Structures are given as C-alpha cells and as structure tokens.
Amino acid sequence: MTDERVGRVLGTRDATTRAFRVLVDDDRYLQLDDLVELRTDVPEAGEVATYGIVTEVSATYEGATYDTDTRRIAEEGTLPAETVRTAEVAITRVDPEVWVSPHPGERVRRAVDAERDKALYVDEMRRPLPIGIGRDERPVFLDLDFFDGVKGGHMSISGISGVATKTSFALFFLRMLTGSPAVVGEGATNLRVLVFNVKGEDLLWLDRPNAHFDAAAREGWDRLGVTPEPFPSVSFWAPARARAGGVVVPDASGRLEGVEAFRWTPREFIDEGLLRFLFTDAGDQRNQLSFVEERVRSQLKRWAADLVGEPGAVVLRQPGPGGHTTPVADVDDGDLVVREFSDLVTALESLLDPTDGTDPDPAWTGRVQGGTIAAFVRRLYAAQHRLGHLIGAGESRRIDRHKSQVSVVAIQNLHDLAQRFVVGALLQEVFTEKEQTGQRLPLSVIVLDELNKYAPRDGASPLKEMLVDIAQRGRSLGVLLVGAQQTASRVAQEVMENAAIRVAGRLDAAEAERPEYGWMLPSTRARARLLKPGTMVVSQPSIPVPIVASFPFPPWATRAEEVDHSDDPDPFDAP
C-alpha cells in the first residue's frame, strides 16, 4: 500500500457508518468521485478498513465571523485565519463488516490499485465488465451477473433528450458486451441483440467507421480493453415499400446499401396472432374492443387456409370441426381471399358487419353491441392506412435475427401505431422462441428507446403486458431489456422495478426529485442536472452508492455525414 495520504477524518463533525468528512492536507486535494480508504483499530475486532467515495468538497476560512472578514483576510491581511478544505465521503464498504464509525483524526488515503478495486467491489465481481471511465482515468466496472440474468437483469437509462446521450451509452454498453467474450463467458456464444431505431437514421451506420474518431478517443477505449472499431456483425432492416412493377425496397432514405426490407405475410400475421398489436392504445382496453379482438383472432386461425400457388396468401373459408388441414386449390364464390392487409380488412368487415341486413356470427363477435363492432372496424381501417404495407403475400420477408449478432430495425419513418405493431410483433417472436426452449442461453438483448411510449405507467395494452412480462420473467429466459426514456416516472412501475442496472444522464430538475430516482444520493441528484454529454450516473446492486463515469467517443458513425470514406474502394478502379 503506497503512501497516498490526503488528510484526516474531521473531528468537529460526526463520523457515522454512512458518511464522514475529511480535513484535506494543505499539499493534497480531493475532488468529486475520488475514492478513499482508512484503517481503524476497533477494540475486540482489530483493524477495520473503511472505503468511501467523495460526494462533495468545500472550503472555508477558519477564523472569519462576518462576510467582510473575507476581505480583511484575503486582501488586507489584518485578520488571522486559515483556509480549511474538507470533503464529504459516502462509505461504500467496510472490511471486515464491523459497522463502526471511523475515528476522528484517522489518516485518510486515496484508494489506488487493489484498494480502489475493494472500494468498488471489483474483487467480489465474478465477471467485471468495464462500463465507463472514472475520474481517476481508470475503468469503472459493472457486475455482469446483475445484467445477464444470473442474479438480476435488464438496464434502464434515463435523461433529457439530446443531452443525456441515452442511445449513445446503450450502444457503448452493447459494444463492450459484444467485444468482451472472455468476460461474458458462455453467454457470448450466439449472443443476439435487437435494436430498434426510433429516431432519425442514426443507427444505420454502426458498421461504418467514424471520421471524427481521434487518438484521444482511442486512448479511452484502450483503457477499457476493447478494440475501438465499428460493430463487426450487424444487419439492417427497414419496412418494405412497393415500387412500380411490384419491386419491394426498404423504406430508408439515408442508406439503402445493406438494408433489407421486412414485412409479414397474411399467413404469418394470422398464425402469430399479430392482430392484437393493432390495439395497443391504452383506451382500447377500457371497452369491449379487446374482447372482440380476441374472438376475431381465434376465428381467423380456424378459418384461414393456405392458397395453393400463392405463398403467404390465405383463404377465409368456413372450416370443419377440426379447422383447415389442407391448402385450398380452387377459390369458390363464397371464399374470402386475403393477399394484402386491405383484403383482410374488407373480409372482416363483411363477417362482422354484414351489409345485407343479417346479424353477424356470434362466433366472431360474441354478444356485443353494434357500436363496438363499428368501432372495431374503424380501427382496422385506420390500421390499413398506417401499416397496411407491412403485410402482404409473397416471399417471406420477416426479420432474420440470427443472420448477425446485432440486428437494427429502422421504424423511425412509420406511424406511431405501426411502430408499436412492429415492436410488439418482434418482442413476441423473441419471447416465444425463448419460452419454447426454456433455456437462458443464448442471450437475447433488446434495446428500445422511448420506453414510456411502449410501456406507459397508466393504462393497459398488449404491448405493455409483453414488456412487463419480459421485465418480470425475461431474465430467467435470457431475454434482457435495455430500455431508454426521457422520464422514468412515465414508465410502467413493474418495468422500472425489475431493472437491476439503472443509468441516468442529465436530468430535468423536477424529474430528478421524483421517487424513481431514489437510488441516487442527494448530492448525485443535484449533479445530474448539470452532467455533460458522455457522463452518466450508474447504479448497480454490487455497489451501495451510485458511481459517475464517462464513456469514450464511438468509433462507429452515428449519422451519414460522420462516415469515414477513406477506405472505400474507388468506383473508377478496374474490377
């Protein structure tokens, strides 16, 4: 242990088992987030080491009584006084766990090397994953057991939009996760990440180098022990849109190369019960629309038969007792053929709200009022205009999440209803697949921004139920959620409570005082209002106090104008 003394435990303030103050030596200094340690001889217990982190620093003139004394001391020299610098320290660890207060006057040292690791519980972490850089320019670690489901799961990231760099931190965390197979262990094999791009096209360049990445940024990544390079295994997906001649192209304006179009066939839409994700508005659950939707969803599975010669298309035909077991080769006059979503809407309207004056079949509607049926049909027509292009017969174009390690799904150009539909459909696919295997490995990580829109605190919806289910049971199945939101107070409480890792960037002053941020110290809440981009507050069960850490500039591009084209092939070169 080197001589890193910085002061002594202050004797004019109470030292407790939670915090104490340090009188800083004249030739030393302490700053926010510095780690310190001291040794106390305790009767009957022997030597006890106490570790802590600096949460506030202050200075005063000892000997000054009036405000004007400051001038007499500093300028005129007519009043004797001494500058006193102190630091507030929150205790992080006591070893051995004999919870006694530090003695006044005990020597306080800066915690370095092994003592620093003890202060941050790194020595007790089975799989420490670097998650940022501390004030001392050394890595800050995350106990991975509390993210990947071994002891806990999920991560919540909060902060003001555009300033808190929530998405940037989420991507940085993913890069550390995918770039540290030795730390992740067996969970690194076949690890799959699903990222939803909900704003702009910032995430469509993760495989391209950043032209602004410099030596200073590289030094930060070197400290973390991960090679600074773009994501090596990533695929991009965007909603399909049709052009003249039936050509299907991805709906992405900034980048088309390497982006694949996705959509669902009517057969997939019906088999997977995706109809329920058309009713994701919280108001839909306060009436009988959800009841009608369940009946219609069940009936569609019974009535739908494959249409021979047209992959993905179905025929709605009255089934026998066991439903349909063989494809339909010839279409009869009474059959309803569904090739596009508009066909499905028309077919359902004829079944639910007949125009010939006959009553609808109770097997489809149940015994509900006509107004509810009309409202249901109106929702279908609204969905037809907003997401009808996502469903069409033909070759299956569903997202292949196993094609690469990271799959980016661009939904930023979709209507709000269509965004919720895509998120719900893919979350259900991931969760159902894991439920069928019943195994935690391989891990599936989901990154979802604007979480408050998909799992709001108030109301109910199928999508919210899915996210709550993932939050509560996902970690045991290896489905891990990295959710980001501007305000944690607007996210479903069940989702927030199950996030073992909590991260915050700059917070709004009023938001910082909400009970959802009770994991922060009062001093940390005050700092969270002033944090600069790239600096985050991290809380994890392994450490009893939140830690402030920064993360380095990304080596991947975050927008088209940042892409480094220096290594691109010259288009005029001969093949």
Please report which confidence band the pLDDT of residue 139 belongs to, taking 50, 70 and 90 as the band edges: very high
Task: Assess whether 55 and 14 both reside in one domain.
Answer: yes
Is 571 contained in some domain?
no
Is 465 contained in some domain?
yes
| Range(s) of the domain holding residue 172 | 131-262+401-562
pLDDT of residue 1: 47
Task: Assess whether 418 and 493 both reside in one domain.
Answer: yes
Is 124 contained in some domain?
no
Evaluate whether 259 touches 204 at the Cβ level (below 8 Å).
Answer: yes
Beta strands in 127-247 (DSSP E): 128-133, 139-143, 155-158, 192-197, 234-242
Task: Assess whether 298 and 356 both reside in one domain.
Answer: yes
Task: Assess whether 351 and 500 both reside in one domain.
Answer: no
Task: Assess whether 418 and 535 both reside in one domain.
Answer: yes
pLDDT of residue 247: 78
Beta strands in 163-281 (DSSP E): 192-197, 234-242, 248-250, 259-262
Q: How far are the Cα atoms of 7, 147, 426, 432 from residue 439, in angstroms, in the given order?
A: 53, 16, 19, 12
Task: Assess whether 422 and 462 both reside in one domain.
Answer: yes
Task: Assess whether 547 and 470 both reside in one domain.
Answer: yes
Burial bucket for residue 268 (CB in 10 Å: 0-12, 13-18, 19+): middle
Q: What is the pTM for the complete model shown?
A: 0.93
In 3D space, the residue among 507, 384, 429 whose CA is nearest the CA of residue 271 turns out to be 429
Is 68 contained in some domain?
yes
Is 575 contained in some domain?
no
Task: Assess whether 286 and 381 both reside in one domain.
Answer: yes
569, pLDDT greater than 90: no
Task: Assess whether 238 and 275 both reside in one domain.
Answer: no
Q: Which pairs count as long-range contacts for 378-386, CB under 8 Å and 24+ apart, including other chains?
A: 379/278, 379/279, 379/284, 379/289, 380/278, 380/344, 380/345, 380/348, 380/349, 381/345, 382/417, 383/278, 383/341, 383/345, 383/417, 383/421, 384/341, 384/342, 384/345, 386/414, 386/415, 386/417, 386/418
What is d(CA 204, CA 550) in angstroms, rounded to the nearest whole number? 24
What is the average per-residue pLDDT within 242-265? 84
pLDDT of residue 551: 96
What mean pLDDT is reported for the chain? Answer: 93
Task: Assess whether 33 and 142 both reside in one domain.
Answer: no
Residues 432-476 pLDDT 10s? 999 999 999 999 999 999 999 999 999 889 999 999 999 999 999
Is 574 contained in some domain?
no
What percent of the chain clears pLDDT 90, i.e. is strictly above it? Answer: 82
Residues 303-359 pLDDT 10s? 999 999 999 999 998 887 767 778 988 888 888 999 999 999 999 999 998 877 778
Task: Assess whether 281 and 227 both reside in one domain.
Answer: no
Which of these three, 369, 390, 411, is where a domain ends? 390
Task: Assess whether 429 and 547 both reside in one domain.
Answer: yes
What is d(CA 314, CA 312) in angstroms, rounded to the nearest whole number? 7
Most confident of 248-262, 367-381, 548-562: 548-562
Q: How many domains are contained in the chain?
A: 3
Burial bucket for residue 169 (CB in 10 Å: 0-12, 13-18, 19+): buried
Evaluate whether 464 touches 214 at the Cβ level (below 8 Å).
Answer: no
Which of these three, 72, 93, 119, is where a domain ends? 119
527, pLDDT greater than 60: yes
pLDDT of residue 256: 84
Place of tokens 């006059």: 333
Is 126 contained in some domain?
no
Q: What is the DSSP code (8-state) at residue 517?
A: G
Residues 487-501 pLDDT 10s? 999 999 999 999 999
What is d(CA 489, CA 209) in angstroms, rounded to the nearest whole number? 36
In 3D space, the residue among 346, 320, 317, 347 whose CA is nearest the CA of residue 334 turns out to be 317
